[in-house]
Chains A and B, each alone.
Chain A
Amino acid sequence: MSETSFHQPGDMPKQGELSRLLHSRRAWLLGGGVAAALVGGGLVRHWRRERANVFIAKNQTYQGDLVRTIRDGLLACGFVPDSIVGKRVLLKPNLVEPTRESPHMTTHPTIVLAAAEVFRVWGATVTVGEGPGHLRDTDMALSESGVGEALDSSKLPFADLNYQEVAWTTNGGRRSKLNGFYFPQAVAEADLIVSLPKMKTHHWVGVTAAMKNMYGTIPGCKYGWPKNVLHFKGIPETVFDINASLPRTIAIVDGIDCMEGDGPIMGTLKHMGLVLVGTNPAAVDATVCRLMDIDPYAVTYLNLAANRLGPIDNAAIEQRGEPWRPLVSPFTILDRPHLKPLVYRRGVLVS
């Protein structure tokens, strides 16, 4: 992994370091035009048996006070609001292939608006960005998900990550054979990326939440629809590598109406009523797995991330808000051989 890390667990980067790095990054973008190089191969977090905080709120609804939930969750996890005053925050929902027939596939618009409100009140400049994985018509993704209407109503700018001009960064993870990644301008210039995933099963890798959602930061114009270049290089490996190469990322998970079974597209609704918040996406995803009664160590990209991008061991995760154990509700998964290790402990597979 890259040795350019300057993050400490649960903290924002120091302002001087951030400014220096971003200055370099923006200079490349502006001076070099497209396909310019980022410096340092991303901001890899080095986690050496350190702890992370994950906040869980239960009994949540899309009509409830999600602003308060998210704000309380971030503060409980040690997030420092002053660290983002005047900074660029990119909110990244999951709009992989929206359809009004299946609203539990994509991040609910109210989660996006609530997160935006929190960061705006804290003084950040907020943009929402997404590069839908299965649709070249991004307007269709915004329309079908309801997110487009929500953004319009709140005057929130949207960055189409599939078509923006790009910057090159070296691969900070090196688990796949990709030398680096093209990231869209809004990603490359962000001071903070907030992964806003939907809590879902995934028929290839078991679970999709904060880390897998970062596939949507990769521009379709360079990697395709679907982003099949990444698939050919290994989904777990590229999930790890992308997360290891991105600017600082935190997570707010839409775990209210979730998807089980044949996720991430064709699965069925499972209501959980949860919102998860954390400053370390790997730790958040590990907690998501436990809530789904899935072994996080059996999710290959999380196993790769363990103690490299964050802790996934339960003993290394400080639980804030609600404890996870009483909230566990097993998610059905497809009865396929490659998914059996995920639920080995359950004894019975369901489909």
Chain B
Amino acid sequence: MQNDGSTVSWVDPILDELAKSPGTAYLPAGKAAAEPTALATLAFVAHERNTAAVASAYQLVAMQQANGEVSIRGGEESPGWPTSLAIVAWAAVMRQQARSLQSNIDRALAWLLANRGEGFERTDTFGHNTELVGWAYAEPSHSWVEPTAFAVLALKAAGREREAATREGVSVLIDRQLPGGGLNYGNTYVLGQLIRSHVQPTGIALLALAGEADSSGRIKKSIAWLRRNIGPETTPLSLAWAVLGLAAQQSNVPQADEWLAAAAARVQARDRSPHKLAILALAAKGWPQ
């Protein structure tokens, strides 16, 4: 994690801008969405912007439905894959400020545990273990890497690390790593063909796998793959998740602050996406523990 004062110069204006609205959107002038709002909440927590963190967390509360699900944007009933990120954000705010968001977390956890991905019988079509169950983006569909990693992060943040579903989610993430390291959206071999790794899902999976034992050595290979595949030109979302994942694996990137600042400058010069700025600000400090 990059925890020194050098982050202040570029992060503070971003946090100031994000704090002007309690909800954070994917795109400029867009409607607040749950994923970027959760990431902004975590950035506020990480940077000890307490008032903004609470306001942002309550924006997620406003998006939560009676069944506990948090969908893409307020007023949308499904899919509920952002529910996991809302749980992580609420748990972080609670830890920092002792706010009572427990009932929101409990309802969200109940929804999450009742809505996992679809498993199916193994064949030679896919290289991964299709019988392992993680989480899907939307129902009905198979378990994929990023929603599974988000769910594992949520369950861990809520103290459910030993829950069977959490353990199976971790198994999914270990199983979906490619032989040479790294992950993609969630396939390893398809019809006998090895599939490519990508930076963002690798970073997110490594974040969720922090502290996990792995006798297969796959996590170690993925860390090495990720370090080889990021640089100053890596796109903002991928870079931010990579830095977060590597930091969680105790594999800090010395140039991270410089690269993150440059990525933020590129976002400011191009699409000014609040989503991208929020995750870059979060990556500058690290995933709240």
Q: A residues near B, CB below 8 A? A: 33-35, 97, 99, 101, 134-137, 139-140, 143, 160, 163-165, 203, 220-226, 228-229, 231-232, 262, 265-266, 334, 336
Give the Cβ gap from A137 to chain B, nearest Cβ, in Å: 4
Other-chain contact of A203, B138, B140, B191, B236 (Cβ < 8 Å): B191
Contact with A along B192-236 (1 / 0, CB 8 A): 011110111100000000000000000000000000000001011
CA distance A335 to B138 in the complex (A): 32
B75 engages A222 (CB within 8 Å): no
B140 engages A33 (CB within 8 Å): no
Q: B residues near A, CB below 8 A? A: 26-27, 30-31, 33, 72-73, 75-76, 79, 81, 118, 136-142, 144, 146-147, 184-185, 190-191, 193-196, 198-201, 233, 235-238, 275-276
Q: Which residues of the other chain, B, contact A226 by a CB distance below 8 angstroms?
A: 144, 185
CA distance A42 to B192 in the complex (A): 39
- The closest CB in chain A to the CB of B36 belongs to A163
A266 engages B72 (CB within 8 Å): no
Q: Which residues of the other chain, A, contact B191 by a CB distance below 8 angstroms?
A: 203, 262, 334, 336
- Which of B141, B238, B275 has most chain A Cβ within 10 Å? B141
CA distance A224 to B236 in the complex (A): 20
Q: Which residues of the other chain, A, contact B185 by a CB distance below 8 angstroms?
A: 134-136, 225-226
CA distance A203 to B192 in the complex (A): 11
B31 engages A224 (CB within 8 Å): no
- The closest CB in chain A to the CB of B238 belongs to A137
Q: A137-B199, A139-B238, A228-B142 are in contact. List 17 more A-B contacts (CB 8 A).
A: A34-B76, A99-B196, A134-B185, A135-B200, A136-B200, A137-B237, A140-B199, A140-B200, A163-B26, A222-B138, A223-B138, A224-B81, A225-B144, A228-B136, A229-B137, A262-B193, A266-B193
B144 engages A228 (CB within 8 Å): yes
Would you list 5 pairs from A and B whose C-beta atoms are within 8 A, ordered by A residue?
A34-B75, A134-B184, A203-B190, A221-B72, A225-B144
A224 engages B138 (CB within 8 Å): yes
Q: Which residues of the other chain, A, contact B147 by a CB distance below 8 angstroms?
A: 224
B144 engages A140 (CB within 8 Å): no
CA distance A163 to B144 in the complex (A): 18
| Contact residues of B: prevailing secondary structure | loop
Give the Cβ gap from A225 to chain B, nearest Cβ, in Å: 5
Q: Which residues of the other chain, B, contact A137 by a CB distance below 8 angstroms?
A: 198-200, 235, 237-238
CA distance A33 to B30 in the complex (A): 11
Other-chain contact of A160, B27, B76, B195 (Cβ < 8 Å): B27
Give the Cβ gap from B159 to chain A, nearest Cβ, in Å: 28
Give the Cβ gap from B175 to chain A, nearest Cβ, in Å: 17
Q: Which residues of the other chain, B, contact A143 by a CB distance below 8 angstroms?
A: 233, 235
CA distance A35 to B196 in the complex (A): 34
Other-chain contact of B73, A97, A165, A223, A224 (Cβ < 8 Å): A165
CA distance A348 to B190 in the complex (A): 23
A224 engages B141 (CB within 8 Å): yes
Give the Cβ gap from A339 to chain B, nearest Cβ, in Å: 10
A139 engages B31 (CB within 8 Å): no
CA distance A265 to B196 in the complex (A): 9
Give the Cβ gap from A164 to chain B, nearest Cβ, in Å: 7
Give the Cβ gap from B185 to chain A, nearest Cβ, in Å: 5
Other-chain contact of B237, A33, A34, A140, A228 (Cβ < 8 Å): A140
Other-chain contact of A139, B137, B146, B193, B237 (Cβ < 8 Å): B237
Give the Cβ gap from A125 to chain B, nearest Cβ, in Å: 18
- Which of A35, A140, A228, A262 has most chain B Cβ within 10 Å? A228
Q: Which residues of the other chain, A, contact B201 by a CB distance below 8 angstroms?
A: 136
Q: Which residues of the other chain, A, contact B144 by a CB distance below 8 angstroms?
A: 224-226, 228
Q: Which residues of the other chain, A, contact B73 by a CB distance below 8 angstroms?
A: 34, 165
CA distance A41 to B72 in the complex (A): 23
B27 engages A136 (CB within 8 Å): no
Q: Which residues of the other chain, A, contact B198 by a CB distance below 8 angstroms?
A: 97, 134-135, 137, 140
Q: Which residues of the other chain, A, contact B236 by a CB distance below 8 angstroms?
A: 139
Other-chain contact of A224, B79, B196, B275 (Cβ < 8 Å): B79
- Which of A97, A135, A164 has most chain B Cβ within 10 Å? A135
Give the Cβ gap from A161 to chain B, nearest Cβ, in Å: 11
Q: Which residues of the other chain, A, contact B193 by a CB distance below 8 angstroms?
A: 262, 266
Give the Cβ gap from B183 to chain A, nearest Cβ, in Å: 12
CA distance A101 to B198 in the complex (A): 13
Other-chain contact of B137, A97, A203, A223, A336 (Cβ < 8 Å): A223
A33 engages B138 (CB within 8 Å): no
Q: Which residues of the other chain, B, contact A232 by a CB distance below 8 angstroms?
A: 118, 140-141
Give the Cβ gap from A206 to chain B, nearest Cβ, in Å: 13
CA distance A232 to B233 in the complex (A): 36
CA distance A231 to B137 in the complex (A): 13
- Which of B81, B137, B194, B233 has most chain A Cβ within 10 Å? B137
Given A221-B72, A262-B191, verify A228-B238 contact (CB < 8 Å).
no
B31 engages A165 (CB within 8 Å): yes
Q: Which residues of the other chain, A, contact B27 by a CB distance below 8 angstroms?
A: 160, 163-164
- The closest CB in chain A to the CB of B27 belongs to A163
Give the Cβ gap from B143 to chain A, nearest Cβ, in Å: 10
Give the Cβ gap from B22 to chain A, nearest Cβ, in Å: 17
Q: Which residues of the other chain, A, contact B31 by a CB distance below 8 angstroms?
A: 33-34, 165
Q: Which residues of the other chain, A, contact B140 by a CB distance below 8 angstroms?
A: 229, 232
